[in-house]
Chains A and B, each alone.
Chain A
């Protein structure tokens, strides 16, 4: 059987006293999108940099397609590409120059490198910007040239470190579409993100990382159902009615209700167990109206990353015997 695209055992990286990555075990099968989900400083980028041979692990082992990232770094490098958090292209050079430079470094002849650059620029809608310096590109265009550079020789494994952070919604959707097409061609993708939404859209499996450890792992569906099917957000007109609203929601949804800092806002999880989450929510809304509580805004949404973290960290602390 082919080795998995990525396999790590007890991977550790420390910076001074800080254990940035503290014993991470991952297995990423070939041909899938795997999401590393976590807040800033969770250790996602450090994991990626170790796997991309940019940082030496301080402990544990990591293999990419069966090649050890330390001992067989060159074999790893010939099969991976990295699109870093900050544009991994030369800002002073033009789009064409960047791609020709990389093409030459990857072993293409002068002519072939030029042709390849033109072809990629066209496919990424950057033909018009081909002769402009990257520093004059918009955020979305930078991301695209960055991904184009990463697939110059289409890699077997592509690292995308927060590919949509700071992008407007349109550019974000473009990047998502590109990632889907790249994966369909057979490339494995390791994606880091702070957005549950993004991991949900793209990844087949997700590892949630916090303080350098994997605190949960599974498909997006498994992760979400482990913490409830959805979250009900309610805004009242009158803050005085909040205690009454809290009682109604707790009763109807069967969960604890969280009182937000905003005095008119409440949040509660719908577990979706007996009936669908949407039905639970609509019944709750009806009960609030019956009780004479004025509701200005009512929505059922996916749990946010904050809520995933709250739920996951709460469940791990419960698991530890007091």
Chain B
């Protein structure tokens, strides 16, 4: 085969006519397969721009170290003691915070011409967004694993063992996948990357800090306890702590699954409505 350099390229009728396929087009891919293909696109983007993994590795490590040594002595007598309580919570905080990059990423991605092409393809409509979140799920797994490794090094020793750790991370990933649809909605709704960031922070800071992540809610004033009780992050953290300590709290786990389903249903629908309109 002869290679043609870009400068000397002359379109040839014979070779071009040969690649114009007039045969029957293949059957359209299933919703699952189309989503996986878009997930593969996200993986390729990570491969080409590996720096983007900085925020899912460095940020969680800093969060874990900072709060463990800042609060450990004061709150639980020793950092090692505090870690047994705190690690599942900081893992949830870090990963849930990272979900906002889904919205930021979509907001910049959607402005590019390639989305015009995606949206004119005869594939299952949500596939492009589901695939994008699949890629983000890999980042969540990486972030959760990073924190767990740091925790284990610092002395986190859960009674649930390996199964408890894996189960806890799995539940966190399920919830984060569902939670990401809030940000896809904002990513499509808001005009700039900065405003997506701003709204994300406004939601995420109270949600993660006003929970049972850092301290026992019993030490808080009554009105704050009331908020902490209904905060979904509290339920998630309680469920994950119970799994990691080897005594799964079934009602809390069920609660997390139901909340995840509701998030996908509500925010997934709103996202798709905006996506089709854009």
Listed in ascending order, the chain A residues whose CB lies under 8 Å from chain B are 49, 52-54, 56, 74, 77-78, 80-82, 84-93, 97, 101-102, 104-109, 112, 119-120, 122-129, 133, 138, 140-141, 144, 149, 151, 153-154, 174, 177-178, 181-182, 184-187
Contacts and interface: CB of A to CB of B under 8 A. Distances in A.
Contact of B3 (A102, A106, A128, A174): A128
Pick the most buried of B18, B33, B114: most chain A CB atoms within 10 A of its CB.
B114
Nearest to A90: B114
Q: Which 7 residue pairs are nearest across A and B when measured between Cβ atoms?
A: A125-B9, A107-B26, A125-B4, A86-B113, A88-B117, A177-B11, A78-B122
B74 interface: no
Given A74-B122, A90-B41, A128-B6, 7 more contacts: A101-B40, A106-B28, A107-B27, A112-B26, A141-B6, A149-B117, A177-B10
A115 to B, nearest CB: 11
Pick the most buried of B29, B37, B117, B119: most chain A CB atoms within 10 A of its CB.
B117
A320 to B, nearest CB: 38
Contacts of B19: 119-120, 123, 151
29 contacts: A54-B120, A74-B122, A77-B120, A78-B122, A84-B113, A85-B113, A86-B112, A86-B113, A90-B112, A91-B114, A93-B48, A101-B40, A102-B117, A104-B40, A105-B29, A105-B38, A105-B123, A105-B127, A112-B26, A124-B9, A127-B3, A128-B4, A140-B6, A154-B21, A177-B11, A182-B20, A185-B20, A185-B22, A187-B20
Given A126-B6, A128-B5, A133-B48, A80 B26 contact: no
Contacts of A133: 48
Contacts of A49: 116
Nearest to A186: B22
Interface string B53-71: 0000000000000000000
A132 to B, nearest CB: 10
A15 B34 CA distance: 33
Contacts of A86: 112-113
B116 A181 contact: no
Contacts of B123: 105
A101 B35 CA distance: 11
B1 interface: yes
Pick the most buried of A84, A97, A123, A184: most chain B CB atoms within 10 A of its CB.
A123
A122 B14 CA distance: 12
A106 B121 contact: yes
Nearest to A161: B116
Contacts of A125: 4-6, 9-11
B114 A174 contact: no
A107 B28 contact: yes
B119 to A, nearest CB: 6
Contacts of B48: 92-93, 133
B197 to A, nearest CB: 21
Contacts of A141: 6
Interface residues of B, number: 46
A84 B37 contact: no
A88 B116 contact: yes
Nearest to B3: A127
Pick the most buried of B9, B13, B27, B34: most chain A CB atoms within 10 A of its CB.
B9
Nearest to B9: A125
B10 A174 contact: yes
Nearest to B8: A125
A53 to B, nearest CB: 6
Nearest to B128: A105
Contacts of B13: 181, 184
B17 A181 contact: yes
A91 B205 CA distance: 34
B277 A56 contact: yes
B44 interface: yes
B157 interface: no
A106 B25 contact: yes
B45 interface: yes
Contact of A106 (B26, B45, B127): B26
B15 A92 contact: no
Contact of A82 (B15, B33, B120): B120
Given A92-B48, A105-B37, A122-B15, A52 B25 contact: no
Pick the most buried of B18, B21, B22, B113: most chain A CB atoms within 10 A of its CB.
B113
A187 B37 CA distance: 28
B212 to A, nearest CB: 40
B49 interface: yes
A38 B259 CA distance: 52
A174 B34 CA distance: 33
Contact of B25 (A78, A93, A181, A187): A78
A87 B113 contact: yes
B16 interface: yes
A181 B16 contact: yes
Contact of B45 (A93, A182, A184, A187): A93
Given A174-B10, A174-B11, A177-B11, A184 B4 contact: no
A181 B11 contact: yes
